[in-house]
Amino acid sequence: MASEISQAIAAGILGGGVYALMAAGLTLIFGVLDIINVAQGIFVVLGAYLSYVLSVHLHLDLLLGLLITVPAMFVIGLVVYWLFIRPLRGAERTSMTLLACFAVALIIEGVLYREFGSGYVSLNAWYTTASVHLFDFYLADIYLIGFGLAVVAIVALYLILYRTTFGRAVRATMQNQVAARLIGIDVTRVSALTFAIGTAVTAIGGMVYGAISGGFTPNSGYDLISRLLAIVILAGMGSIGGALATAVLMTTVEALVDIWQPDWAVAVFYLAMVIILTVRPAGLFGRRAVRAQ
Amino acid sequence: MTSDRATGEAAGEQDTSRQPDVDPGRAAPATEPLITETRIAGQLRSRTPALAGLAVLIAVFALFPLVFTNPTVTTIAVVTLIFVAVASAWNLFSGFSGYLSLGHAVFYGTGAYFLVVAAKDWNLNGTAVFWLLPLAGAVAALLAVPLGLVALRVRRHTFVVITIAFFFIAQLSASNLTVTGGSSGLLAPVPNWAPATYNNPFYYVGLLLAVAAVALSVLIRRSRFGLQLRAIRDDEDRAAGLGVRAMPVKLGALVLSAFITGMAGGLWVYFIGQAVPQFVFDPLFDLAVVLMAFFGGLGTIAGPVLGALILEPTQQYLYLQQSNGYESEILFGALFLVVILFLPRGVLPTAGEWLTPARLGRLRAAWPGRRADRIAQPVQRSKPPAAGSTS
């Protein structure tokens, strides 16, 4: 029992790193563009399928494949932004962009069904089957690699946001879009790049998710997006640090509940969200108004 | 659009609230003249043709299954009527209040499961099952109270996301609880009606439900309650400052909407014969309803009806044409994007905008004035028609 619990905690924390990365992308997009990218879940699945194609057909190592899938997802993000998000303006923008993302998600899901069918596929490499012996339990190497990748990506994201001119422009846009425009920031360019970066991280997320989840289908996007939305709402929309902490916390709690109640473990996310929001509508780490409108 | 005008005539002070219907805030400079001339335009049109048209429409719908007896056609018709009811119900909450719900499948599914379980427990079959529909609606409405109390505390994105979360909780519960039969689901009672006219009872109950949903929307839209809802949509804080008790109003609209949606869910499950979690709680359902309302015109009376009448048969047709689900999924997503990008305010308001210049041409003959040109030019983002806009 004790080993089960410690294993659940380890898997929860390490697996939470990937969710933290995906949630960071989602909350970054929300913070800058003020839209909820409900397509984030299917982007992750798309990233996983891209890795799958590269590893099965080109026999490319999963980690090396990231060198291709990350730029590919970046470009996909740019295209989606340019075609479907940028033209939407005006008072109904909030709901319109959300629905547009939903529609994009549907199309991607349909295309994935068409190409790959509804069967489960999983990503395999030597490090998805090999495991390390930690204290009194075994853990697949991919958990450690995935966590490491997530940490690297999050640090890179942090450096971009806090150590570059572009990052300063992003943060200025998050704080006040009108003021950012007034001091000469090209808000459209910042938005496009932010959306693309937020999408690009799903390539890494998708690869790790595909390897640790034990199998995914085009339908997995719904499961992912519901967890990710719960994480960013719980954390408080637009709070990147909060999203990281909440992601790790929630996946750990889920892994623990999973020991006793495997069927209901996912409900932990939603229940926590409902409870927190009744007490604190702005979320755990959110301020009352994330962005003054 | 007819009902819009009627509202405007009924009470002068509603004219200002009509404005955001077209587009909130943007049309501000033209407010004064627009009101006056819209009212004139409204008064020039008599209400009798509209009422006669409505009577003809209802007669056509009532005679439809007697003329088209093909079971495939009537099956599509039944599902379409159910969606007319649901889209109207969704619109009377989300369209009027501006709180976009992506979780109406919760109420739909609750009504559906209640009907199946109750019919089984009480051994009901045949037409007796239809009497369970108001109860199914009541159960869904009851569920809407706690959900609304939690979700309506937050606005905009967060509200949308919470409704999505409720949807997933409902789906998860349905596949894990014993009362819902778990992931294998439950079978609804099968009435022993004659195969040739099997669909007709469902059709007429569906028609009744659809008419009731539309009538309720009209009543709400004309009432003080409807005004309060639209005030909340335009600016909730200001509405609250003016004395609108926002929470009871929003919750009331949600409960009414859930009531109709629950009844529709009950009728639907009785019609298709089984309740399985992934079909009863279907993310596509939520999206389809929203698309119908957006397609026709969010916040209008006729918009969601038109959206359902056009989109649901199309979707059913595509579904019947292709054995696989993904083709229709891709087409559906693409259609959604087209509507959002090119008809963001829906077919009806956009069409109204295009028709206004033509109508004003006649008006201007009797009422010469520079101002008429201003109305003729659509103030909104959507492009003016190529010809005949201001000449």
Chain A CB contacts of B287 under 8 Å are: 99, 102-103, 106
Interface of A with B in 12-41 (CB under 8 A): 30, 35-36, 38
**Smallest Cα–Cα separation from B309: which of B140, B76, B7, B132?**
B76
Q: If pLDDT is split at 50, 70 and 90, which confidence band does A73 have?
A: very high
Phi, psi of B343, deg, nearest 5: -130, 60
Do the Cβ atoms of A111 and B337 come within 8 Å? no
From A189's Cα to the closest Cα of chain B, the distance in A is 20
Radius of gyration of chain B (CA): 22
Chain A CB contacts of B291 under 8 Å are: 99
Closest residue on chain A to B336 (Cα): A103
Mean pLDDT throughout A11-36? 84
Domain count, chain A: 1
Chain B CB contacts of A91 under 8 Å are: 23-26
Structural domain contains residue A289: no
Chain B CB contacts of A30 under 8 Å are: 157
CB pairs under 8 A between A and B: 131
Q: If pLDDT is split at 50, 70 and 90, which confidence band does B12 have?
A: very low
Of A127 and B388, the one with more pLDDT? A127
Task: Name residue B274's beta-bridge partners.
Answer: B187
Check if the interface score ipTM surpasses 0.90: no
Do the Cβ atoms of B344 and A92 come within 8 Å? yes
Please enumerate in sequence order all residues whose Cβ is within 8 A of that of B269, keeping only pairs 6 or more positions apart, or say none. Answer: B111, B112, B113, B115, B116, B188, B275, B280
From A26's Cα to the closest Cα of chain B, the distance in A is 13
The Cα–Cα gap between A15 and A123 comes to 16
Q: Closest CB to A237: pick one of B158, B326, B345.
A: B158
Domain boundaries, chain B: 2-45+348-376, 48-345
Closest residue on chain B to A110 (Cα): B326
> Rounded mean pLDDT of chain B?
76
Do the Cβ atoms of B326 and A277 come within 8 Å? no
Give pLDDT tens digits for B118-164: 888 887 777 777 888 898 899 999 999 988 888 888 777 778 888 88
Structural domain contains residue A161: yes
Give pLDDT tens digits for A220-279: 888 888 888 888 888 877 777 888 888 888 888 888 888 887 777 777 877 887 788 777
**Smallest Cα–Cα separation from B338: which of A91, A87, A34, A195?**
A87
Interface of B with A in 249-288 (CB under 8 A): 283-284, 287
Residue B383: DSSP 8-state: P
Do the Cβ atoms of A94 and B337 come within 8 Å? no
Query: DSSP labels for B40-84?
Result: HHHHHS-SHHHHHHHHHHHHHHHHHHHH---HHHHHHHHHHHHHH
Mean pLDDT throughout B171-185? 76
Interface of A with B in 232-271 (CB under 8 A): 233, 237, 263-264, 266-267, 269-271
Phi, psi of A86, deg, nearest 5: -60, -40
Structural domain contains residue A287: no
Which three-class secondary structure state does DSSP give residue B177? Answer: coil
C-beta of residue A38 within 8 angstroms of C-beta of residue B286? no
Chain B CB contacts of A103 under 8 Å are: 287, 333-334, 336-337, 340
Q: Closest CB to A107: pick one of B158, B176, B330.
A: B330
Task: Name residue B347's beta-bridge partners.
Answer: none
Query: Residue B257 pLDDT > 90, yes or no?
Result: yes
Do the Cβ atoms of B160 and A90 come within 8 Å? no
Task: Tell me the residue range of the domain where A270 lies.
Answer: 2-279
pLDDT of residue B261: 94
From A129's Cα to the closest Cα of chain B, the distance in A is 30
Please enumerate in sequence order all residues whose Cβ is within 8 A of that of A256, keeping only pairs 6 or more positions apart, or say none. Answer: A5, A8, A9, A12
Query: Residue A76 pLDDT > 90, yes or no?
Result: yes
Chain A CB contacts of B318 under 8 Å are: none
Q: Closest CB to A266: pick one of B166, B172, B327.
A: B172
- Taking the CA atoms of residue B325, residue B326, residue B331 and residue B332 in that order, the dihedral angle to the nearest 10 degrees is 60
From A141's Cα to the closest Cα of chain B, the distance in A is 31
C-beta of residue B286 within 8 angstroms of C-beta of residue A98? no
Read off the pTM.
Answer: 0.78
C-beta of residue B105 within 8 angstroms of C-beta of residue B258? no
Q: Closest CB to B330: pick one of A92, A99, A110.
A: A110
Mean pLDDT throughout B175-192? 76
Interface of A with B in 272-291 (CB under 8 A): 273-274, 277-278, 281
Please check whether residue B298 touches A, CB under 8 A.
yes
pLDDT over 90, % of chain A: 10
